[in-house]
A = this chain, B = another copy of it.
Amino acid sequence: MKISFTFEPKPAVQQELQQQFPTHDFRFGKGAAPERDTAIWVTYGEDVKVAAIENLPELQWISVASAGVEKMPLSLLHSKEIIVTNARGIHKTPMTESIIGHILAIYRNLPAIYTLKNEQTWEKPRGSKELRGSSALIVGPGAIGEEVGRVLTAFGVEVTGCNRSGKTIEGFSNTVSLEKLDDQLGSADIVICLLPSTPETHRLFTIEKFQLMKNTALFMNFGRGNVVSEKVLVEALKAGEIGGAVLDVFEVEPLPESSELWGLPNVVISPHVSSHSDFYVERAMEIFSRNLSKWEQGEIDLENQVDLKLGY
């Protein structure tokens, strides 16, 4: 069976795959299109387009080494019964560490401490707060949100989850369904959005949502940029509807130079780097290896299979 990678893992990773699965024909090549007789396509996802798929008559499975699949032609893949798996979950550790790091940095005044150090000035900055005893609302808690909630709980934060079903999440104080989001927005000190990009979540965070939040609330978007329009976000921040924002994702990336977000003081712009990790490809390949073993055994219940109707 031909397995085509449209990126190049490290030589050691390539060798390990070939040794582990000697009967398969592996092709590795950054930028090149998969060969026509490819059965399994391993990709970061950005090259999964209609034309490419139409050119692969034997394609059975696309293994995406990232989490977002929203830009792929999902209905075409669904109609062709092509399985799609992604690497969701491998972002869990680095993203949790980034999210909690940003929260603590703001609560404990680290940006001011860094500035004063650079100015070589000994001055005790005012306004540091304790995180313990505050409340966080995690909107869209999948693997990452559950991990963020678990760690926030260890800091003594009261964590509420808001997911599609309202299904209880272990360790969270409370979980509500997405329809009841508005009831929760007013009581959270920190609102952490980890929603995927779907028609339902598109620009979900309207100005009315920000008006419901505490004026001191910290809004964090680490899911997908299009859950809130930049215009609304700027409006909410300028009007003082919220206290600040930490943004890892944006409607348009790179964030245009002209964006007003750059100039707002209470905004942290993390240029879509919160999931960065030295272990990224390694972990994605672990998932792929486990799935390929299953595939060889004829199992169809693969790890991290994307529901092509729901889009995640």
Binding site for B on A (CB under 8 A): 93-94, 97-98, 100-102, 104-105, 107-111, 113-114, 116-117, 120, 122-125, 128-132, 150-151, 154-156, 253-255, 257, 262-263, 267-274, 276-279
Specify the chain B residue showing the minimal Cβ separation from A256.
Answer: B122
Interchain CB contact under 8 A, B100 and A254: no
Min distance, Cβ A284 to any Cβ of chain B, angstroms = 15
| In the complex, chain B residues whose CB is within 8 Å of the CB of A279 | 130
Which 9 A-B residue pairs are closest in the complex by CB-CB distance?
A101-B104, A122-B254, A154-B154, A120-B262, A101-B108, A117-B269, A98-B108, A128-B276, A93-B132
Complex CA distance for A270 and B110, rounded to whole angstroms: 8
Q: Can you report 11 residue pairs joining A to B where beta carbons are below 8 Å apart?
A: A94-B128, A97-B155, A98-B108, A101-B105, A101-B110, A113-B273, A117-B267, A124-B271, A128-B273, A151-B154, A154-B154
Interchain CB contact under 8 A, A125 and B155: no
Interchain CB contact under 8 A, A101 and B107: yes
| In the complex, chain B residues whose CB is within 8 Å of the CB of A131 | 97
| In the complex, chain B residues whose CB is within 8 Å of the CB of A104 | 97-98, 100-101, 104-105
Instruction: Give 13 new A-B contacts, CB below 8 A, not counting A93-B130, A97-B108, A117-B269.
Output: A94-B130, A97-B107, A97-B131, A98-B128, A101-B110, A104-B104, A117-B268, A122-B271, A124-B272, A128-B277, A130-B277, A151-B155, A154-B154
How many copies of the polypeptide does the oligomer hold? 2
Specify the chain B residue showing the minimal Cβ separation from A112.
Answer: B273
| Given A105-B110, A128-B273, also A117-B262 (CB < 8 A) | yes
Specify the chain B residue showing the minimal Cβ separation from A131.
Answer: B97
Complex CA distance for A276 and B107, rounded to whole angstroms: 11
Complex CA distance for A154 and B255, rounded to whole angstroms: 34
| In the complex, chain B residues whose CB is within 8 Å of the CB of A116 | 269, 271
| In the complex, chain B residues whose CB is within 8 Å of the CB of A263 | 120
| In the complex, chain B residues whose CB is within 8 Å of the CB of A130 | 93-94, 97, 277-279
Complex CA distance for A128 and B154, rounded to whole angstroms: 23
